[in-house]
A and B are shown apart, each in its own frame.
Chain A
Amino acid sequence: MNRILTTIRKSKEMNILLVLIVISIIISIFNGSFLTMGNLLDVVKSNIVLAIMSMGMLLVLLTGGIDVSIASVISAVTVVVGQFMVHVSSNIVLVFIVGVLAGSLMGLINGLLIAKLKIPPIVATLGTMSIIFGVVLYLTNGTWITGIPQNFIDFGRVTIGKFNVAGSDQPTGIPIQFLFLVLAAALTWFILKYTVIGRGIYAIGGNKESAERIGINSDNLTLFVYVYEGFLIGLAGVVHTSIMRQVDPNAFIGFELQVIAAVVLGGASVLGGYGSVFGTLVGVSLFCVINNGLILMHIPVYWQKIVVGVVLITSISVDVIQKRMQEKKNVRVDIDENIQRFARTSVSKEVKTQA
């Protein structure tokens, strides 16, 4: 059984990877500049925030929950961070601490509502979304925060390594923000793969009741998941500010659905218990490559939504249909075994009666 599960898991993520590769080839046939270092770096840089947040969302989906408040949380974090830098201090370490604390605090509120008050995740986060966005927009009036201190801007421009890129005179490198994505992905992967917490998260997502029966404290784990998600959103908020060099409280409206779509494209199940860091990264890449590819192929902006919608629906449909076929196969095996067992027992009964 375990073997079957691992092969399915492998094939699922490999399928998405295959789709990613095929789409990349198609795009690069239409437009040669897709596979240039400059373009790929741009794609990475503009989607780091999405990728970091999708790590948090992955954990939430794994427990069978959902979080629609993430867009409001990150816009609150960026506002807090922006105000902190402008009015208090622009020490980079302090800025990161403030951002992460703000994110974790809001995650804690979500977690308490969901784990302790047992409010269904979608409803609880709907409520906090409304509250947090309301407070942020009331306090900022929707105005941008500009005048981010120079040292933070400089920090955002740091690159790792230097190489020349075709079509541009200035040498570029991997943006420093990429490091945080690597950090977030590695940490999430480690937690899921090698800690009791991670195993517990898969367990409550698979079947909450049986997880509780074997002694897993699902309340505390749920709380952890939302706080950890808040922590990652805090990180993403600071990273976003370092990329954009200003704060727009309205920048993230509707972002939550993009994150959920990307994670789901990566094979995570919204019913919980299934999904991986690798798959999520591939899903996020697929999401970004499609968006970038449509621009490079000069397809009007209006078509992008249609393509994303169609890709989302077809990829999940294929997955569901595959799973159903697999299940049918399994059922047949079960029936065969039962018939054989029945035959065996009836034979043995006959033998007994004869004796």
Chain B
Amino acid sequence: MFGSAIIVFRESLEAALLIGIIAAATRGLTGRNLWLAIGIGAGLGGALVVAGLTETIAEMAEGAGQELFNAAILGIAVLMLGWHNIWMATHGREMAAQAKSMGNAVKSGQREMSALAILIALAVLREGSETALFLYGLAAGDGSSRVSMLSGGLLGLAAGIGAGWVLYSGLARIPLRHFFTVTSALILFLAAGMAGQMARLLIQGDLIRPLASPLWDSSSLLPMDSLLGNLLHIFAGYEARPSGMQVLFYTLTFLVILFGMRWSRPRIPQAT
């Protein structure tokens, strides 16, 4: 029971934390909850479809289908997170100043939310399909421990959701003055980490070269299966043995989004 709880917890944690951050970062946008619900619902539905198609997807692209599929999802997620941060650099200040969405911000806020709903749907789809497969394997298994394993899975899912909620309420407590700085920084690292994962998948499918592999090995200092290593992996894309290409993807994404945020920041505080 404990084992299955941990596996489902790990799978659901990433999506739950992403939703927590996005939910916090979009505080005050009109219709936020509806969009979040649409994203999560679509993601869960998609997860079941993808779980059912695992074998088909895996066989595509000469065995690299799973990698391509997940890399594409990560690529879209990186684009949307990057765009969100750049959008926030433009509109965040006025929203902070007015505390609520107003006039001009509402229309572009809706576009922003619909894009984020897609992002959330993709995150839920990716992590959810793995969880669904794992739970399906348990349900199909013939052990008498099936019930305890499945309840363990549900426990893990609840813990994952709980972690997302804790992050959300923690973020919501940050004073507005620092709020957008904190969420933007979190999202910047998150996006860079996803770009790194994307590179890892493309290397695993032999679609791109690893360059130096590994570029460094910090596994004795901070192993991936330690709590801190795991958290840093989720939040900031930490890898104990990254390939050169992963680091390249990570750094490029980080810099592109950072410069995008700097450039789009209004020069005059009163800009629309």
Q: Do A and B come from one complex?
A: no
